[in-house]
Structure 1
C-alpha cells in the first residue's frame, strides 16, 4: 500500500467509527425528555428504547442502528472492495459500543453488526437474522436471539475457512471478530441466566 492508500483507509475507518458513535436511542430519548442511562436497563440501544419509549421508537432506533453499519460498508465495498468494508464495518460496531459521545458507553452492537454484514454479505445477514428471530420466538428474549445469531456467525466463519461457504480467510476473521464482540457484550446476560438456572 502507498502512503496515500494507508491514509485513505485510516480516514475511512475513523469516519465509520464516528458514524457508529452517534447514538440514535440517546438522541431520540433526549428529544422526548427521557434519559435512557437511568431508565429501563440503562442500555442506550434499541431494545431499551423500545421498552422505555414504546415499540415504534425501538423499531426506529433499530433501523437507524442497522444503517450505521450498512451505509459505511456499502460505500467502502463499492469504492474499494470487501476488505475495506470489513474494516469500516467493524469500526462502526466498535463506535456504537464505545461511543466517545457517551464517554465510552454504548449499545450492544447487534443491529449495527447486522447492518455491517448486510452491506457486504446479504445472505449471511439473512441467515443471522433468521437465527435471531427463531431464538427470540422460542425464548421471547432479545439477548438469547442475539447470542444465537452470534453463534451462527461463528459457524459460518468455520464454513468459510473449510471451503464450505464462499469467502476468503479475512471473511472468516471478520465474522469471528464481530461475533466475539457481540458475545462479549452479552456476557452479563449469560451470567445472569446461568445463575437463575442454578437457583433452587
Structure 2
C-alpha cells in the first residue's frame, strides 16, 4: 500500500471516528446531567436536543454536528487527495448514524451531511439552508424540512452534472429516509411533532 492510500485510509478513519462523537449525549450529560436518549424521541441529534435541553444546547449540538462533516471533507479537499473529498466526508455521516461509541447506533445524519456539503460546496450549503428554513416555516416539521432539502440538493447536484455529489446525495438521502422511517409514519398519520413556529403549527392550533 503506497503512501497516498495510507493517507486516504487515515482520513476515512478520522472522519468516521469524528462523525461517531455523540455531541448531543455528551452535552446533555456534561452540562445538563441528562441522558438525552431517555427523553423526547430518544435521538441524540439537534432536534431532540432543542426539544429536551433548550435552544443553547441545540445550537451547540447543531454546530458541532455540522463541523463533524465539514472538517474531514475540507481537509481532504485541501490535501488534493486523488479521490473526491465527498468520499471522505461520507464516513463522517456513517459515523454519526452508526457510532462506534454507541454500539453502532446514532443520529439521522442531516446536520453532518449539511457539514459535508459546507466543506465541499459552501454556496450549495447556504442554498440548502434557505430551502430548509422555508420548508420548516411552511410545515413546522423539522423532519419534512430535512428530507426535503436532502432531496432537492441531490436533484440540484444531478442537474449541475456533479455526478459524484449526485450519487452520494442519493445514498445519503436514501439512508436518511430510512433513519426517519418513524417520522414518516407519523407524518402520514398526521401526528408528527411540530416546532412552535410557522404555518403548520398555526394550522394545528386552529384545529384544536
Give the TM-score of the pair, scaled to structure 1: 0.89
Distance 2:79 2:91 in 1: 17
Q: Structure 1 residues 159, 82: CA separation in 2 closer, same or farther (over 3 Å shift)?
A: farther
Q: Is the 8 A contact 1:132 1:148 kept in 2?
A: yes
Equivalent residues in 2 for 1:71-150 (5 A)? 71-81=71-81, 83-150=83-150
CA RMSD of aligned residues (A): 1.6
In structure 2, the residue matched to 1:188 is 182
- For structure 2, the 5+ residue unaligned runs are 192-208
Match of residue 171, structure 2, among 159, 174, 177: 177
Distance 1:76 1:38 in 2: 36
Distance 1:86 1:55 in 2: 30
1:82: Cα distance to partner?
8.1
Equivalent residues in 2 for 1:12-27 (5 A)? 12-27=11-26
Deviations 1:106-156 (A, max 9, x none): 111111100110101112212211111111111111111101111112211
- For structure 1, the 5+ residue unaligned runs are 162-166
Q: Could you say what secondary structure the match of 1:43 adopts?
A: coil
Distance 2:41 2:130 in 1: 25
Distance 2:165 2:40 in 1: 36
Distance 1:11 1:81 in 2: 12
Distance 1:122 1:83 in 2: 19
1:24: Cα distance to partner?
1.0
Equivalent residues in 2 for 1:28-43 (5 A)? 28-31=27-30, 32-43=32-43
